[in-house]
Chain A
Amino acid sequence: MPLNRKNKLLDLAAAKRRGPETRDWQVTQILPSIIDGLLIGFVYGVAAMGLTLIWGVMRVINLGHGATMALGMFCTYFLFSDLAVNPYLGILAVVVLSLLFGFIIYGVALQRVIQAGYLSTLLATFAVNMIIIGVGTALFTTSPRNIDFSAGSITLGPVILQGTRLLAALAAVVITGALYLFLYCTRPGKAIRAVSNNRAAAELMGIPSSYVLALAFGLGTMLAAVAGGLTSTFFPFTILSGATYQLKSFVICVLGGLGNPLGALLGGLFLGGLEGVIPTFMPVSWVPVVEFVLFVLVLVVKPTGLLGAK
């Protein structure tokens, strides 16, 4: 004990001596960390948009979301490592493949139970999740992979911005813009919004709701896979990594209001920023606890989300 106390006193003395210097170090530490977090937040936002779109249109919580993200990561990885495709061009391939994949999942697992209530749809998407992860584990094992791709970096004063994160954030903004154009300016997009607003009325107007639901699920899956592809350029990943991001997506959706795509993007930025700030005053391993407490608080206090639609 006495030794411990003596050490503590020595530490205190050292801290006093370092004084102002430490504070400087903290400011220069916090700023890059927040900016970094915000850039990642854009990508979180894209993932959450996929989840929120599916919920808004189909009233289905897609528990296969994380697994789909992991598939996006692996798709980008194999395009890069085996065919040497630039990861950001590889995203285009991911878009097409995941859209098809989403249609297939909808046709196989969801179409039959879409009317049967949330218990069935939750369990069905969950089963899809288990199948993807099970097969993925068998094929790819769970040893971490990494896309070794660097896009340089930009230095702004004390802040160093990594190229991959800037590009990912840019891609996220472009995707959000494209999604909005699609939803508001094209006929299929308008059909999706109509079904989301009132499915029965949309059907009476001659909108084939079954196709629209398939399209919405495909788009949601695509957004998840693209977000996965983008994250794979800056973090190492395994087939199981999706689960963490899925949880973050839930938190973000709830923050931004389930069913609200723009809210999802803002929620993503908020969560990313938060992840940047927390490690400066708490051990990183506490991040999930904070996120979850936030999640439950929002769910309980204001289930429509902080940006509360309706």
Chain B
Amino acid sequence: MNAWRQPGFWVSFLLIFLAGVAVLVLRQDTLRETAFTVLMFIALASSLNILMGYTGYVNFGHIVFFGLGGYFGFYLVSEMGWPVYLAALGGGVLSAVIAYIIGCAVLRLRGAYFALATIGVNEAARAFVSNFEPFGGSTGLYVNFAAYDRYGGAAHALWFTFILLWLVTLAVVVTSYLVKRSRFGLGLSAIREDEDTAMVMGVKAPQDKTKAFLISAFFPGLIGTLYFFKNGNVEPDDAFRFQMSLEILVMVMLGGKGLLLGPIAGAFAYERLRGYLIISPMFKDLHLALSGLILLLIVLFVPGGVVGWLRERLPHYRRWLE
């Protein structure tokens, strides 16, 4: 298949692959934790990109799928005793199903109306879970420690979770690339450029948008389960942090929406920057304001993001910067 010969894809894929290998070779706990957070945001940003970058539909509630899928997966691990990879899959499937239901209703709306609806989804989901007793209501759930024993104790379980997350991140990148290269992905780009024209040309816009939404929601569910399993507890305020939705959005915009490398670069840069800002005493309260400023500057002056800007500046290397 010709698609596999694109250097742009291999750049993104190998970056993440080698980073994971490096962490596994070095076997340091702190490095693993940092890498876990960075990989998590890369995967979340790349999955948001499938909807937002390709279709041009802003989703302010991406974290809902992280939260709901995470809650469900955590419930399966902790209360039902499922192995964590199956539970993560369960969380992902639940997220995808919910996305399908929401998508059927909401994706008939165009542009701005859809964005409005997604803001509401987050609040509604948090309110719902806070009142839902099987998920522990507002106090959430704590992991049943027996769940860790299956993997030879907590320390091994953490490494195991890391490897799973690494594989999921690679899967997100591959999926995102395949979607972009496919006929379906072309349809999505057509919707982004002009939805009416796309429909006239035979793109089934509502179905395609719902499909894109479903794919983009499946991964956060997986990631959520792994994240909460690693943390050992899950609670509504942690699972539906609206701020996190925004940060993922900023990452996609920072790197460049609609590109494969964009969300990866954006997530990595933003996560490192935030790590630095939180530690520095001067900026630790201001990091939200700073990310707002970054977003504003990008929207106003560099709408293509960093990678998009580089692509424009260096036409010779464009095939490397997919």
Is there a chain B Cβ closer than 8 Å to A22's Cβ? Answer: no
Q: A123-B253, A130-B288 are in contact. Are A299 and B116 (CB under 8 A)?
A: yes
Q: Chain B's nearest CB lies how many Å from the CB of A18?
A: 27
Q: B286 and A109: CB pair below 8 A?
A: no
Q: In the complex, which residue of chain B has the Cβ closest to the Cβ of A136?
A: B289
Q: A300 and B124: CB pair below 8 A?
A: no
The CB with the most chain B CB atoms within 10 A, among A112, A119, A124, A288, is that of A119
B115: chain A residues at CB < 8 Å are 61, 118, 122
Count of chain A residues near B, Cβ 8 A: 43
Q: A296 and B105: CB pair below 8 A?
A: yes
A286 to B117, CA, bound (A): 18
Is there a chain A Cβ closer than 8 Å to B300's Cβ? Answer: yes
Q: In the complex, which residue of chain B has the Cβ closest to the Cβ of A297?
A: B105
Is there a chain B Cβ closer than 8 Å to A134's Cβ? Answer: yes
Q: A134 and B290: CB pair below 8 A?
A: yes
Is there a chain B Cβ closer than 8 Å to A137's Cβ? Answer: yes
Q: Chain A's nearest CB lies how many Å from the CB of B85?
A: 32
Q: In the complex, which residue of chain A has the Cβ closest to the Cβ of B300?
A: A112
Q: B117 and A296: CB pair below 8 A?
A: yes
Is there a chain A Cβ closer than 8 Å to B97's Cβ? Answer: no
What sequence of 0s and 1s flags, for each residue 272-285 of chain A, a beta carbon within 8 Å of any chain B beta carbon? 00000000000101
Is there a chain B Cβ closer than 8 Å to A126's Cβ? Answer: yes
Q: B113 and A138: CB pair below 8 A?
A: no
A95 to B277, CA, bound (A): 36
A116 to B111, CA, bound (A): 13
Q: A137 and B127: CB pair below 8 A?
A: no
Q: B127 and A289: CB pair below 8 A?
A: yes
Q: Chain A's nearest CB lies how many Å from the CB of B99?
A: 14
What sequence of 0s and 1s flags, for each residue 239-264 of chain B, a beta carbon within 8 Å of any chain A beta carbon? 00010001001000100000000000
A4 to B117, CA, bound (A): 42
- Of the four ranges (under 10, 10 to 19, 20 to 34, 35 or more), the interface on chain B belongs to 35 or more
Q: B116 and A292: CB pair below 8 A?
A: no
User: Restricting to B130-146, which residues have a CB under 8 Å from any CB of A?
Assistant: 130-131
Is there a chain A Cβ closer than 8 Å to B120's Cβ? Answer: yes
Q: In the complex, which residue of chain B has the Cβ closest to the Cβ of A109?
A: B296
Q: B288 and A134: CB pair below 8 A?
A: yes
A133 to B293, CA, bound (A): 12
Q: In the complex, which residue of chain B has the Cβ closest to the Cβ of A293?
A: B124
Q: Give the interface SS of chain B, mostly helix, strand, loop or mixed.
A: helix
Q: A119 and B288: CB pair below 8 A?
A: no
Q: In the complex, which residue of chain B has the Cβ closest to the Cβ of A251?
A: B120
Is there a chain B Cβ closer than 8 Å to A188's Cβ? Answer: no
Q: In the complex, which residue of chain B has the Cβ closest to the Cβ of A110?
A: B300
A292 to B106, CA, bound (A): 12
B58: chain A residues at CB < 8 Å are 119, 122-123
B120: chain A residues at CB < 8 Å are 247, 250-251, 292, 295-296
Q: A128 and B116: CB pair below 8 A?
A: no
Q: A130 and B291: CB pair below 8 A?
A: yes
Q: A131 and B293: CB pair below 8 A?
A: yes
Cβ contact of B124, chosen from A116, A129, A289, cutoff 8 A: A289
Q: Chain A's nearest CB lies how many Å from the CB of B118?
A: 10
Is there a chain B Cβ closer than 8 Å to A113's Cβ? Answer: yes
A8 to B246, CA, bound (A): 46
B246: chain A residues at CB < 8 Å are 126, 130
B108: chain A residues at CB < 8 Å are 300
Q: Chain A's nearest CB lies how many Å from the CB of B69?
A: 19
A299 to B109, CA, bound (A): 8
A130 to B60, CA, bound (A): 13
A288: chain B residues at CB < 8 Å are 123-124, 127
Is there a chain B Cβ closer than 8 Å to A163's Cβ? Answer: no
Q: A131 and B292: CB pair below 8 A?
A: yes
A292 to B105, CA, bound (A): 13
User: Restricting to B271-300, which residues have a CB under 8 Å from any CB of A?
Assistant: 285-293, 295-296, 299-300
Is there a chain B Cβ closer than 8 Å to A135's Cβ? Answer: yes
Q: Chain A's nearest CB lies how many Å from the CB of B89?
A: 28
A120: chain B residues at CB < 8 Å are 299, 303
A162 to B124, CA, bound (A): 30
Q: A134 and B292: CB pair below 8 A?
A: yes
Q: A138 and B124: CB pair below 8 A?
A: no
Cβ contact of B117, chosen from A126, A127, A299, cutoff 8 A: A299
Q: A285 and B127: CB pair below 8 A?
A: yes
A289 to B125, CA, bound (A): 8
Q: B289 and A138: CB pair below 8 A?
A: yes
Closest A-B pairs by Cβ, 10 of them: A134-B289, A130-B292, A134-B288, A127-B296, A292-B124, A138-B285, A131-B292, A127-B295, A288-B127, A118-B112
Interface residues of A (CB under 8 A from B): 59, 61, 63, 109, 112-113, 116, 118-120, 122-124, 126-131, 133-135, 137-138, 243-244, 247, 250-251, 254, 283, 285-289, 292-293, 295-296, 299-300, 303
